[in-house]
């Protein structure tokens, strides 16, 4: 009987243990499900704002067509209460009566808004943790904080839930979560985008920002929000690395700086890199910081400049936050977390004198950063000092973490400059990033810079993170295919110039592949380089007589060049190869009608006419208005040899020239005027060469233009063109006739503005210097993806000549 009782007792215990085990598994599963939800906790509300219908052809579709986006819960949407990261705010506020203009602009631009995302409590901190709502999970490192204040927006983009998302950046609210979640994050220049319909945190620091996974989407959104008209993409001339700010990092400095350095050198040349002590620069340019150390706000006068700026940022944030929401806090008495409470409620009010001094510091800092960067400089700093801290760790509230983070974030917040966070892979299984800053108002330029540098940054980041990967050997053909595929992707993303560069790289690696030439021709057609497109198609056809695409593209190029008969022949040849090709059929028929009409309108003998204008004889075939031939009318011979003079052209340097070899080029310059032709020496493996070489041309006809062409020297094949530019010497000659003797050195005599008739990249000044007249030119190269050449003109009278 006792034995039976013992057995029953054991069985009972087993059932209890089994039940506890199952309960534990269920609790663990429930906890895991709670930790990582389907949307990673990014969204607080799902909604749907649809764009208007597409315009009828031939109008272009909306610029953001096909893209989805989410908005942080500080942007108003009609019919929804804007939550501001706190349930008491929702409880005490009505639904919005209108939608934020920023959101409306994006929807009208063709994007679809699908929801609102979580923000930090009152959008005040940068941790991404909110005790009132379930915090978003960092998809790049589940046990780490996502960063805030716009944590949910960054998570929504990182998890592919949306294509892009809107956030608000006061003291890092977009930059920090972008860095911690491994996506791109852009903080716009303060005031560049209206804050109407957005709950303010600190009115003078708040800036609209957005997240994206790729630079093309980031740029498209920026162009819509900033209402930017079309303009040529610009590259930076200076990449300024703030060495002292990189000392704030707690991860290996080289992990970031080497990536930026290698990419900048490859894209813009070594001379573009500059190293700066930002602490010393700001200290010398912002004198009001010294007065700030004397106030009661800062007791220790030996605090570093970066720390002082961080304190200024924190004081402004707290002061303006209380101005905006102090009455609500005092009336409602919401439950506020201890971190925010200590910063907002437990500090004394600022005096009017202190506030005035803070505003002076902010204004001086903006002037200082704008002066440092000018229109074409980029400042490089770390985004955050550490890897994302672990959830619930004391590191987040430690004084050291707060000081380092605020020091890095205060530059853009105080100056109001734009800043972008760029992911650079992982370190110890956590995302790392770098930040680029441009002057206040330089948003377009910064977006262009990210677009240009992004692929190179990611490539170098992978190599530095895993050096073994760079040692894997692959064949030239495989390398060429990789370059071609990258070019195809760039073409799909409408990055025509990048595609041209990648196809050129593929051609260098495997020059007998017709597809590479045909694909590059397609990209040339997109940017209007019809001659280069025709050349590439001809090469492709030489290599592959049955390349239908090459015939179609050459036909298109020739049609645009006015070579209608040749174009029609190409389309007909494509039809022989593919009888059912609709594009070839329609194009051939269209050209046949144009050709017949032209012949009918002209006389049977195709009579010609000519006219004289400005010393040039022009001969035009009637009926073919695009085919115009310019002939010299003997003006050269009409000049007396005793009047012959010379112009010296100093070829100074090339800037950001195209890559024609695997990673660089071997450039030289050829200058032609009339029948004269001169060239510089070759500079090996440098896309930013310094020639400083004088070429002297005899001038017998001042109306002739000068043609400058850049070539890449090749040892075993024909030299590749790297673009060309034309300019006139006539404005310079006119200035010479003004008898300028006695003018002070440095006097600007005249200026020549960039226009369609010249290739000037910027205003060209004709200046009287030490008794001589010189003209400085910066020429933007045509028929190529990128590149400029800097030159200078100087007049030389030959002995015994009568000059002008």
Whether the CB-CB separation of 684 and 675 falls below 8 Å is answered with: no
The listed range with the strongest mean pLDDT (206-210, 475-479, 664-668) is: 206-210
Burial class (CB in 10 A: 0-12, 13-18, 19+), 629: exposed
- DSSP letter for each residue of 99-166: --HHHHHHHHTT-EEEEEE---GGG--SS---TTSPPPP-TT-TTB---SSSHHHHHHHHTTSSSEEE
* Count of H-run helices and E-run strands, the chain: 24, 24
Task: Give the number of residues written for the chain.
Answer: 804
The listed range with the strongest mean pLDDT (148-162, 386-400, 664-678, 750-764) is: 148-162
What lies within 8 Å, CB to CB, of 291 at 6+ separation is 357
pTM exceeds 0.85 for this model: no
At 97-123, the pLDDT tens digits run 999 999 999 999 999 999 999 999 999
Sheet with 112-117, strands from edge to edge, namely: 43-49, 112-117, 68-72, 164-169, 207-212, 184-187, 418-427, 430-438, 377-382, 238-242, 273-276
> What pLDDT, on the 0 to 100 scale, is given for residue 644?
53
Determine if residue 113 is left, alpha or beta; phi over 0 gives left, psi from -120 to 50 gives alpha, anything else beta: beta
- DSSP letter for each residue of 290-333: HHHHHSTT---TT--HHHHHHHHHHHHHHHHHHHHHHHHHHHH-
Q: Is 648 helix (H, G, I), strand (E, B) or coil?
A: strand
> What pLDDT, on the 0 to 100 scale, is given for residue 622?
31
Tokens 């190293």 locate to 275
pLDDT at 10 over 80: no
Half-sphere exposure of 674 (CA within 13 A, CB side): 17
Whether the CB-CB separation of 570 and 552 falls below 8 Å is answered with: yes
Dist. CA 53–CA 107, nearest whole Å: 11
Structure tokens at 487: 């070019």
Dist. CA 327–CA 320, nearest whole Å: 12
Q: Stretch 150-167: mean pLDDT, rounded?
A: 97
Confidence of residue 668 (pLDDT cuts 50, 70, 90): very high
Whether the CB-CB separation of 411 and 381 falls below 8 Å is answered with: yes
Question: Pick from 737, 726, 733, 785: which is nearest to 759 by CA?
Answer: 726
Structure tokens at 311: 């304190």
The listed range with the strongest mean pLDDT (131-140, 162-171, 725-734) is: 162-171
Question: Pick from 527, 548, 550, 549: which is nearest to 537 by CA?
Answer: 550
CA 585 from chain center: how many Å?
A: 40
Lowest mean pLDDT among 377-391, 398-412, 460-474, 544-558: 460-474
Sheet with 690-699, strands from edge to edge, namely: 690-699, 645-655, 788-797, 772-780, 764-769, 747-752
Q: Is 276 helix (H, G, I), strand (E, B) or coil?
A: strand
> What pLDDT, on the 0 to 100 scale, is given for residue 802?
45
Question: Pick from 524, 361, 382, 417: which is nearest to 190 by CA?
Answer: 417
Tokens 């002061």 locate to 319
pLDDT at 387 over 80: yes
> What pLDDT, on the 0 to 100 scale, is given for residue 628?
31
pLDDT at 536 over 90: yes
pLDDT at 679 over 50: yes
At 698-747, the pLDDT tens digits run 887 888 889 999 999 887 778 889 999 999 888 888 888 776 666 778 88
């Amino acid at each position: 009987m006792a034995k039976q009782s013992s057995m029953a007792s054991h069985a009972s215990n087993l059932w209890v243990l089994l039940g506890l085990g199952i309960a534990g598994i269920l609790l663990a599963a429930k906890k895991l499900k709670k930790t990582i939800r389907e949307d990673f906790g990014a969204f607080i509300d799902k909604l749907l704002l649809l764009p208007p219908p597409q315009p009828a052809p031939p109008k272009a579709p909306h610029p953001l067509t096909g893209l989805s986006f989410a908005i942080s819960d500080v942007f108003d949407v009609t019919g929804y209460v804007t939550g501001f990261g706190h349930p008491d705010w929702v409880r005490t506020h009505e639904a919005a009566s209108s939608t934020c203009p920023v959101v409306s602009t994006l929807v009208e631009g063709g994007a679809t808004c699908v929801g609102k995302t979580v923000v930090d409590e009152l959008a005040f901190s940068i941790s991404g943790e909110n005790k009132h709502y379930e915090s978003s999970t960092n998809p790049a490192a589940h046990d780490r904080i996502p960063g805030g204040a716009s944590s949910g927006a960054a998570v929504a983009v990182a998890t592919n839930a949306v294509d892009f998302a809107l956030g608000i950046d006061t003291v890092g609210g977009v930059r920090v979560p972008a860095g911690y979640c491994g996506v791109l994050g852009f903080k716009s220049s303060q005031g560049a985008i209206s804050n109407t319909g957005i709950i303010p945190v600190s009115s003078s620091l708040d800036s609209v920002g957005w997240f994206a996974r790729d630079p093309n989407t980031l740029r498209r959104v920026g162009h819509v929000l900033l209402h930017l008209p079309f303009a040529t993409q610009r590259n930076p001339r200076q990449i300024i690395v703030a060495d002292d700010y990189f000392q704030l990092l707690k991860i290996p400095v080289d992990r970031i700086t080497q990536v930026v350095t290698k990419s900048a050198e490859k894209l813009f040349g070594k001379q573009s890199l500059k190293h700066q002590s930002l602490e010393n620069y700001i200290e010398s340019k912002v004198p009001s910081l010294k007065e700030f150390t004397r106030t009661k706000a800062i007791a220790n006068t030996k605090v570093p400049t970066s720390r002082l700026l961080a304190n200024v940022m924190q004081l402004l944030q707290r002061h303006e936050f209380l101005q905006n929401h102090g009455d609500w806090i005092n009336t409602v008495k919401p439950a506020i977390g201890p971190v925010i409470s200590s910063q907002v409620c437990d500090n004394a009010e600022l005096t009017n004198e202190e506030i005035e001094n803070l505003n002076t510091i902010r204004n001086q800092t903006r002037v200082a950063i704008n002066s440092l960067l000018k229109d074409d400089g980029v400042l490089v700093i770390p985004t955050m000092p550490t890897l994302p801290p672990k959830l619930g760790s004391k590191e987040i509230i430690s004084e050291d973490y707060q000081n380092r983070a605020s020091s890095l974030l205060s530059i853009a917040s105080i100056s109001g400059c734009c800043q972008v966070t760029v992911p650079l892979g992982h370190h110890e299984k956590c995302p790392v990033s770098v930040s680029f800053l441009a002057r206040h108002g330089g948003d377009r330029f910064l977006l262009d810079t990210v677009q240009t540098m992004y692929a190179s940054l990611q490539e170098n980041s992978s190599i530095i993170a895993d050096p073994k990967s760079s040692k894997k050997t692959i064949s030239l053909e495989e390398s060429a295919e990789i370059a071609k595929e990258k070019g195809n992707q760039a073409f799909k993303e409408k990055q025509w110039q990048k595609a041209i560069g990648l196809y050129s790289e593929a051609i260098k690696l495997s020059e007998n592949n017709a597809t590479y030439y045909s694909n590059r021709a397609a990209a040339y057609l997109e940017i209007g380089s019809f001659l280069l497109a025709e050349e590439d198609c001809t090469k492709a056809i030489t290599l592959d007589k049955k390349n239908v695409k090459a015939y179609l593209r050459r036909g298109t190029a020739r049609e645009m060049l006015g070579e209608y008969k040749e174009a029609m022949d190409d389309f007909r040849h494509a039809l022989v190869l593919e009888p059912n090709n609709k594009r070839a059929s329609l194009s051939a028929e269209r050209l046949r009608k144009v050709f017949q009409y032209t012949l009918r309108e002209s006389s049977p003998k195709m009579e010609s006419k000519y006219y004289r204008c400005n010393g040039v004889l022009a001969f035009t075939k009637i009926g073919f208005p695009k085919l115009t031939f310019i002939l010299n009318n003997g003006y050269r011979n009409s000049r007396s040899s005793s009047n012959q003079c010379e112009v010296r052209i100093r070829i100074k340097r090339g800037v950001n020239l195209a890559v024609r070899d695997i990673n660089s080029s071997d450039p030289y310059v050829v200058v032609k005027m009339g029948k004269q032709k001169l060239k510089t020496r070759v500079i090996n493996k440098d896309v930013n060469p310094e020639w400083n070489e004088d070429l002297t041309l005899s001038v017998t006809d001042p109306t002739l233009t000068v043609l400058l062409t850049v070539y890449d020297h090749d040892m075993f094949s024909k030299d590749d063109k790297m673009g060309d530019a034309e300019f006139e010497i006539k404005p310079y000659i006119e200035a010479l006739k003004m008898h300028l003797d006695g003018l002070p050195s440095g006097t600007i005599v005249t200026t020549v503005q960039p226009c369609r008739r010249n290739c000037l990249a910027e205003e060209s000044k004709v200046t009287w210097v030490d008794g001589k007249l010189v003209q400085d030119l910066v020429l933007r190269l045509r028929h190529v993806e990128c590149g400029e050449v800097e030159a200078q003109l100087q007049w030389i009278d030959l002995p015994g000549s009568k000059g002008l």
